[in-house]
Amino acid sequence: MLDELVKFFVVLLVVVEPLSLLPILAGLTEGSDDAYRRRMSFKAAAISAAVCVLFAVGGTALLKLLGISVDAFKIGGGILLFMLAIEMVFARESGVRSITPVEGEEAHHRVDISVFPLAFPMIAGPGAIATILLAFAAVPFGSAQFFAQLAVIGVVLALTLALMLVTGPVMRVVGVTGSAVLGRLLGVLLAALAAQFVIDGVRGAMA
């Protein structure tokens, strides 16, 4: 179980990629006071937690209702995560996690940026949702592993919130370039993990 938890933690952390949020948060809150940035950060983390828990609890039932097997979702989810990895490595917008220029312009004029674009698609976006569905698909509801994986989600979101609350100091140390370099390195790791999901799905479907 420990191996699965570590794998889930790594994949979810790489998909959420908290450092990549900081330049966006800094840009969207430029000219605002620290209290506004903290309020948006806490609200975005809370909304993301609600979305993640919703899919963790009801995701498996949804897959069964739609007649989607776990192996099929591993293949589809792996492809989705691979697209996200390409976006991270080559800094190209795949639409999995990034926002369009029009959406970015709209976000700059929003008073409340916690739901869009922070909670969705930046934190609890398609990649994070796919990762959660993959992790919980074969886990019995109410089991020890189920609650352990919920705890992993909490840890990842807590780390994300902690970084968002210190956006200013972190950006002064890391900078946009440092954040981009780390994102590319993590993208390579995510590509390998996504490929493994596809391989496991194909192997399971052919068994």
Higher pLDDT: 198 or 93? It is 198
Q: What angle do CA 110, 115, 121 make, to 5 degrees?
A: 110
In the DSSP assignment, the letter for residue 117 is: I
Using pLDDT thresholds of 50, 70 and 90, give the confidence band for residue 104: low
Phi, psi of 17 (to 5 degrees): 45, 70
DSSP string over 125-176: SHHHHHHHHHHHTTS-TTSHHHHHHHHHHHHHHHHHHHHHHTHHHHHHHHHH
Q: Is the pTM of this model over 0.75?
A: yes
Residue holding tokens 């609600």? 50
Residue holding tokens 């312009």? 105
- Tokens representing residue 104 in the block: 């970015």
Contact 4, 137 (CB under 8 A): no
Cis peptide before 121, with omega less than 30 degrees from 0? yes
pLDDT tens, 169-181? Answer: 998 888 878 888 8
User: Which residues neighbour 139 within 8 Å (Cβ) at sequence distance 6 or greater?
Assistant: 60, 145, 146, 149
Chain length of the chain: 207
Residue 83 scores a pLDDT above 70: yes
pLDDT tens, 9-19? Answer: 999 999 998 98
Using pLDDT thresholds of 50, 70 and 90, give the confidence band for residue 152: very high
Q: What percent of the chain has pLDDT over 90?
A: 54
Q: Coil, helix or strand for 201? A: helix
